[in-house]
Amino acid sequence: MAKHLPSKSGIYGLQRAFKLAGVKYVMMSLWNVPDTETKEFMSLFYSKWNIDNDICAAFRQTQLIMLARHKDSPKKWAAFELLN
């Protein structure tokens, strides 16, 4: 079975729906990420966001940490997107 990324129209439609509901940011994944790495990513992200109170900086710092830890396996972290 082939794995497919969501279509751009599907992502934009989802983002638009959340925006209409009043949400400022949406974090989503473009494909299934293993539970262990999802927990790792989200724990890092929330701890960084709690310290800096800057969601974009926290997301970028988390990406860089996950890149360093899993540089040979981007499928374990690179799926996460922060939409504004």
pLDDT at 39: 97
Q: What is the largest CA-CA distance in the chain?
A: 42
Distance CA 83, CA 11 (A): 10
pLDDT at 16: 81
Helices 55-69, 35-52: inter-axial angle, 10-degree rounding: 140
Digit-by-digit pLDDT tens for the chain (84 residues) are 455 555 555 666 777 888 889 999 999 898 999 999 999 999 999 999 999 899 999 999 999 999 999 999 999 999 999 988
pLDDT at 56: 96
CB-count exposure of residue 44 (10 Å: 0-12, 13-18, 19+): buried
Distance CA 78, CA 70 (A): 10
